[in-house]
Amino acid sequence: MASARLKYLSLGVLVFQTTSLVLTMRYSRTLQAEGPRYLASSAVVVAEVMKILACVLLVFKEHSYSMRALNSILRQEILHKPVETLKLAIPSGIYTLQNNLLYVALSNLDAATYQVTYQLKILTTALFSVSMLGRRLGIYQWLSLLILMGGVALVQWPSESAAAPEKEARSTGSQFVGVTAVLVACCSSGFAGVYFEKILKESKQSVWVRNIQLGMFGFVFGLFGMLAYDGERVRESGMFQGYNTITWTVVALQALGGLVIAAVIKYADNILKGFATSLSIILSTLISYFLLQDFDPSSVFFLGAVLVITATFLYGYEGKPPANPSRA
């Protein structure tokens, strides 16, 4: 009974985190408010800081709230093992790029289209797992990847519109930017996730310590990116320009969501994760249509979404899918 409750709790947490992050991020990037809009590069940096602090607290808890033990483990695992720490620079840099790309994607795509298209990370993770880890995929998994590609292609299929040519051209241009950002994010997610999994399997370090190392590099890369691309705006109006309650919610969900999923994922089997993905896509579609009113689904979109949801379930049918460890 307790195990069943944990499974349903895991399902609720997975659906809530996935759906709420996408919808709040989309809302925050399209909200018309007075003053400048918050900088996505700044939000990425703040999320890294939150992540590091959360992981430090988790390590602190793992060692019975002993400051001496915390200092010892951080010095031993981070400062005294520079080569091991430097290994995390590659996935950290890629994850930082990915986080920035997600803001670009949701600034140009509605939440439903983003959610469905982003499931291509299953394909990229599978391909990198085969090439980097030597993992073998079953017939159902290869079939699911073909269905997945077909579903995403249908979702991106241009729909007939009676909009003015200028507006339609502008919409097509922004959708191209959004889709490109999602595709690059899918590739980076697949590679970084498999690379991180390989590192975890080759060492006995705590996953929270590894996430602290990732966060340290992520903070440096994110700060460099913010100063390089938004340095002038930061100097003019500050790093926290445009921040409001919605912005802080987005940052907190992005920072802590991965940690929450990492904590509950052991209770979620493939079928449960398939349900979570499906429910998240359905909720995103409904909320985008009825509340955000930035999405007008077509029959082709629904067909593509059904194929993507089917592929998600089918991929977990035979054997275990390549894990994409939750990088916080």
Choice between 322 and 88, residue whose per-residue pLDDT is larger: 88
Model confidence at 3, pLDDT cuts 50, 70, 90, reads: low
Burial of 280 (0-12, 13-18, 19+ CB in 10 A): buried
* Predicted structure pTM score: 0.83
**Residue range 119-140: average pLDDT?**
88
Among candidate residues 91, 60, 41, the one with its CA nearest the CA of residue 217: 91
| pLDDT > 70 in the chain, percent | 85
Using pLDDT thresholds of 50, 70 and 90, give the confidence band for residue 170.
very low
What local confidence, expressed as pLDDT, does residue 297 receive? 81
Q: Alpha-carbon distance 268 to 44, whole Å?
A: 28
Calculate mean pLDDT across residues 46-51. Answer: 95
The pLDDT tens digits of the residues spanning 260-306 come to: 766 665 566 556 676 778 888 888 888 888 888 877 888 899 899 99
Mean pLDDT of 48-74: 92
Give the model's pLDDT for residue 164: 46
3-state secondary structure string, the chain? CHHHHHHHHHHHHHHHHHHHHHHHHHHHHHCCCCCCCCCHHHHHHHHHHHHHHHHHHHHHHHCCCCHHHHHHHHHHHHHCCHHHHHCCHHHHHHHHHHHHHHHHHHHHCCHHHHHHHHHHHHHHHHHHHHHHHCCCCCHHHHHHHHHHHHHHHHHCCCCCCCCCHHHHHHHHHHHHHHHHHHHHHHHHHHHHHHHHHHHHHHCCCCHHHHHHHHHHHHHHHHHHHHHHHHHHHHHHHCCCCCCCHHHHHHHHHHHHHHHHHHHHHHHCCHHHHHHHHHHHHHHHHHHHHHHHCCCCCCHHHHHHHHHHHHHHHHHCCCCCCCCCCCCC
Check whether 186 has a pLDDT greater than 90: yes
List, for residues 312-326, the tens digit of each pLDDT value.
Answer: 888 876 544 445 555
The band of 241, judged by pLDDT with boundaries at 50, 70 and 90, is very high
Segment 83-112 mean pLDDT: 92
Structural domain boundaries of the chain? Answer: 12-25+34-158+171-316
- The tokens 């919605």 sit on which residue? 246
So what's the pLDDT on residue 167? 46
Q: What is the mean pLDDT of residues 221-245?
A: 94
